[in-house]
């Protein structure tokens, strides 16, 4: 296991761990287990699983208190925005998590230190580790500082709008990936939208979800008033 500069890492994060082994585990990417000498080592995947639930609880409580008169649908939209991979990636990037991730050389060579899923997952793992180490109150303050005080820009969920339209008109919709291009850490996806068996629009994006949103947006803009 590489020697970590715990003082520097905790300085970037603005927190302190009682058990450094938990921080170490939170920073360990699953690829590190693929090396022959580390097959018995654990990765941050289970901490990420726990952190996802802890984060959701903290965000839900925050939104419940901040918008007491908001409808459930609006709160759900906000919750998704605060907990989505893109938002977690941006927060993790500001904390320089990619610099501290423990991974094998192959993952690192293919852009693993900058991969959004790796950084977002690591942040969730740190939240899970911090919950086990210091409790809900402490990790809540951390999440508020690095995430909840960040300005969140809401966007229209075109896929949900299209799903409602399809249900009203008894139409079946599907998305099909037509092409992927670019390096693993700089992928671009091209997706086509089908209504029944007919291709009606297409969209592109850096993730499959973004490409699907663009395809739905393109169809709604020209066909649904």
Query: Which position among 48, 77, 107, 124 bears the catalytic label?
Result: 124
**Locate tokens 């850096």: which residue?**
206
Q: To which H or E segment does residue 217 belong?
A: helix 208-223
Query: Which position among 45, 52, 86, 218 bears the catalytic label?
Result: 52
Give the integer Cα–Cα distance in Å for 104 and 70.
Answer: 46
**Locate tokens 């911090």: which residue?**
130
Q: To which H or E segment does residue 131 belong?
A: helix 116-134
What is the maximum alpha-carbon separation in the chain?
60
Active site residue 124: yes
**Locate tokens 């839900």: which residue?**
60
Rg (CA), the chain: 20
List, in order, residues 6 or more apart from 27 with CB less than 8 Å away: 4, 9, 44, 97, 100, 101, 102, 122, 125, 126
Active site residue 180: no
User: DSSP 3-state assignment of 174?
Assistant: strand
Q: Are 120 and 89 in contact (CB under 8 A)?
A: yes
User: DSSP 3-state assignment of 149?
Assistant: coil
Q: Which residues are catalytic?
A: 52, 124
């Amino acid at each position: 296991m590489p020697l970590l500069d715990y003082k520097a890492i905790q300085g970037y994060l603005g927190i302190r761990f009682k058990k450094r082994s938990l921080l170490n585990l939170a920073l360990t990417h699953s690829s590190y287990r693929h090396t022959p000498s580390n097959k018995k080592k654990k990765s941050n995947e289970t901490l990420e699983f726990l952190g996802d639930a802890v984060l959701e609880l903290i965000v839900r409580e925050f939104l419940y208190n901040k918008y007491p008169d908001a409808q459930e649908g609006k709160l759900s939209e906000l919750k998704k925005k605060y907990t989505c991979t893109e938002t977690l990636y941006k927060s993790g990037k500001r904390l320089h998590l990619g610099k501290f991730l423990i991974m094998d050389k192959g993952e690192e060579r293919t852009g693993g230190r900058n991969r959004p899923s790796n950084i977002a997952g690591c942040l969730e793992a740190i939240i899970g580790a911090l919950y086990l180490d210091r409790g809900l109150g402490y990790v809540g303050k951390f999440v508020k500082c690095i995430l909840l005080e960040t300005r969140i820009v809401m966007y229209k969920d075109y896929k949900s709008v299209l799903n409602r339209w399809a249900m009203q008109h008894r139409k079946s919709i599907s998305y099909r990936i037509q092409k992927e291009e670019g390096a693993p850490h700089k992928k671009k996806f091209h997706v086509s939208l089908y209504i029944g068996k007919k291709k009606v629009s297409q969209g592109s994006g850096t993730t499959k979800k973004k490409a699907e949103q663009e395809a739905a947006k393109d169809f709604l803009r020209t066909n649904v008033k």
